[in-house]
Copies of this chain bind each other. A is one copy, B any other.
Amino acid sequence: MKLVIIQVGKTDRGFLSDGLARYYARIKKMIGLEVITIGAGRVASMPAESVIKDEGMKIAERLKPGDYVIALDEKGEQMSSRELASFMREKMNRAPKRIVFIIGGAWGLDAELKRRSDKVISLSQMTFPHQLVRLLFSEQLYRAMTIIKGIPYHHD
């Protein structure tokens, strides 16, 4: 079983790449992790709606039957770090081959893709740049894994 993160476009800000590398390395000591980056739709030449649709199709192509798919969206369900850990523990116990987290691009996630996901979770009501969301979420995944494994890191 492994965790998969699907994201849109490369992480092009150095400070975010450094932070991500740090959390990804920590996660990989506890569980398999694959990060899939699909190309961003070209914003300048296309209306936002088409960009989202295009990115949504590219993401959908990377999903496999049996995946447990979790989309990140600010309008999704909010949970505490402990609730995320409990939720992941429960899903991991069912042993899907992959638990897939989808982080949308600059314009957000395709509505159809959100509907097709098994769960939509929100990190915050606030809007953050999608590349920054990667960093936030990598820290939460790491935190969830430490809670699941009983490694001291999180305190309430």
Contact A139 B143 (CB under 8 A): no
Q: Interface segment, A24-32, A34-42, A96-104, A122-130? A: A122-130
Q: Which of chain B's residues have a CB closer than 8 A to the CB of A83?
A: 125
A79: contacting residue among B123, B125, B128, B132, CB under 8 A? B125
Chain B CB within 8 A of A22 CB: yes
Q: Is A84 an interface residue (CB 8 A)?
A: yes
Which B residues lie within 8 Å of A18 (CB)? 14-15, 18
A126 x B84 contact (CB < 8 A):
yes
Q: Tell me the chain A residues, 54-111 only, with Cβ under 8 Å from chain B.
A: 74, 78-81, 83-84, 107
B128 touches A156 (CB 8 A): no
- B125 & A155 in contact (Cβ 8 Å cutoff): no
State the interface size on chain A (CB cutoff 8 A).
32
Contacts of A14 in B (CB 8 A): 15, 18
Within 8 A of B (CB), among A6-34: 13-16, 18-19, 22
- Bound together, the chains give a CA A63 to CA B123 distance in angstroms of 31
Is A3 an interface residue when CB atoms closer than 8 A count as contact?
no
Known contacts A15-B18, A127-B80; is-contact A132 B136 (Cβ 8 Å)? yes
Interface centre among A19, A22, A156 (most CB of B within 10 A): A19
Which one of A15, A81, A139 has the highest number of Cβ atoms from chain B below 10 Å of its Cβ? A15
Q: Are A128 and B139 in contact (CB under 8 A)?
A: yes
Task: Indicate which residue in B81, B107, B129, B139 contacts A139 across the interface (CB closer than 8 Å).
Answer: B129
